Amino acid sequence: MVIPDDIEEFVEKHIKLMISQTETYLPFIKIVFPYSNNVADSVYNLIIGSALSVFVNQFTMKMKNPTVEDFTDFGKIALKYRDQIDQFFK
């Protein structure tokens, strides 16, 4: 099963919003965590964790449960944004 287009679009918009907020707070993040080597991983995990909640909620509102394939597709969506987040911390 393929993730419904409206759910995929909603999740991607949420991820993009979180990335733009990260970019806004980037100077603060770099000052607060100057000695952390994995800030990019932490930020990525926070963004994707938030997006996962949105993903599951979107299915719930349709009275459906995501399948294993839906979660696999979610992982593919999330992975598309990994490099963009990494670039903030290079």
Residue 79: partners with Cβ closer than 8 Å, 6 or more residues away? none
Query: Distance between CA atoms of 82 and 48, rounded to whole angstroms?
Result: 10
8 Å CB contact between 52 and 74? yes
pLDDT at 48: 94
Query: Distance between CA atoms of 75 and 51, rounded to whole angstroms?
Result: 11
pLDDT at 15: 96
- How high is the mean pLDDT in each 10-residue block of the chain (90 residues)? 89 95 88 81 92 94 91 94 90
The residue among 84, 62, 78 whose CA lies nearest residue 15 is 78
pLDDT at 1: 57
